[in-house]
Amino acid sequence: MTVADILIEALPYIRRFSGKTVVIKYGGHAMVDEKLKQDFSNDIILLKTIGINPVVVHGGGPQINKVLDAMGITSTFIRGMRYTDDATMDVVEMVLGGKVNKDIVARINRLGGRAVGLTGKDGGLILAEKMKIYHQEDENSPPEIIDPGMVGDVSEVNPEIIHTLTAQGFIPIIAPVGIGNEGETYNINADVVASKIAAALNAERLMLVTDVDGVLDPEKQLISSVNDAEIGEMISDGRIIGGMIPKVECALNAIKTGVKKSHIINGKTPHAVLLELFTDSGIGTQVYTK
């Protein structure tokens, strides 16, 4: 395929998404590898340049681990979530809202974009409440309530600050930290934050950039498109397991609350965002309602 063929293939998608909002959860290896970081930044700048409004929500688990280790703070995980006491929460907020967020912003701005860093505490963007985890060993045992510390759920998104920034030509870069009713700070899963923000913005697309290709069939081949009913069946019969379950649940929640479609893509593929949005075949799994 020639360069001209590629541009012609992309044209109807560029027209379709022009003026629309695309929320991108940025995580995994794409946040660590220098070349992939550069590719991602250029992808985001390109989206903005052609009239699409990208909104980026980022993770930062490996960066948090590195700082906690350096400070001698041991991480404890409860059912896959980091137990977040006061000391850990201070580090999480410092790393996510400080170093990681500002590194992304600086890179995009250095390459010619106009990015602004936020946390969920800015402008009351993300209101949060303490997450409660219920665990029951079996039907004969009473349910156990597990305290994960300052881990939160999103209770409300107030997107005015995002609208203001995008209208002025800026690219919002958001750290997944929220604020509670009493001013307390909560650490929130970045996939969940991206899903909730996408719904609040009535986004055209939610894209979850991760380290796996997407949803796979029993032969480990990529499923390029899957609907809500099929996902329910695949979770029930064990075809979707482990860490992919919360990702597809976030994708589903977004499209059930106003987002047109969600995508799970492998950020280890160079220019993954552009390839998924602007090509007929895409590179990941598209999630939609039947």
Which residue's structure tokens are 């593929």?
269
| Interval 176-216: pLDDT, tens | 999 999 999 999 999 999 999 999 999 999 999 999 999 98
Residue 81: name the closest of 146, 155, 31 by CA: 146
Q: How far apart are CA 115 and CA 237, in angstroms?
A: 43
CB 105, CB 116: distance < 8 Å: yes
220 burial type by CB count under 10 A (0-12 exposed, 13-18 middle, 19+ buried): exposed
3 state DSSP class of 181: coil
Q: What is the CATH number of the domain that holds 114?
A: 3.40.1160.10
The type of residue at 278 is F
Q: How far apart are CA 3 and CA 283, in angstroms?
A: 18
CA-based angle 195:200:202, to the nearest 5? 90
CB 229, CB 218: distance < 8 Å: no
**Of 134 and 164, which is predicted with more confidence?**
164
Q: How far apart are CA 132 and CA 117, in angstroms?
A: 29
Question: pTM for the whole thing?
Answer: 0.93
Structure tokens at 285: 């799994």
Which residue's structure tokens are 């307390």?
184
3 state DSSP class of 122: helix
Query: Which pLDDT band holds residue 223 (cuts at 50, 70, 90)?
Result: very high
Q: Which domain holds residue 90?
A: 3-288
| pLDDT recorded at residue 138 | 58
- Count of domains forming the chain: 1
Residue 87: name the closest of 60, 117, 67 by CA: 67
Structure tokens at 64: 């948090």
| Interval 88-131: pLDDT, tens | 899 999 999 999 999 999 999 999 999 999 999 999 999 999 98
What distances in angstroms separate CA 279 from CA 6, 8, 9, 25, one per listed residue? 8, 10, 6, 20
Mean of all residue pLDDT scores within the chain: 91
CB 81, CB 151: distance < 8 Å: yes
Check residue 271 and give left, alpha or beta (phi > 0: left; psi -120 to 50: alpha).
left
Structure tokens at 199: 């719904």
Report the percent of the chain where pLDDT is more than 70.
94
Kind and range of the H or E run holding 276 = helix 272-278
3 state DSSP class of 92: helix
| pLDDT recorded at residue 134 | 61
Q: How far apart are CA 127 and CA 178, in angstroms?
A: 6
Query: Which pLDDT band holds residue 146 (cuts at 50, 70, 90)?
Result: confident
Q: How far apart are CA 171 and CA 263, in angstroms?
A: 20
| pLDDT recorded at residue 58 | 97
Handedness of CA 143, 243, 44, 109 (dihedral sign): positive
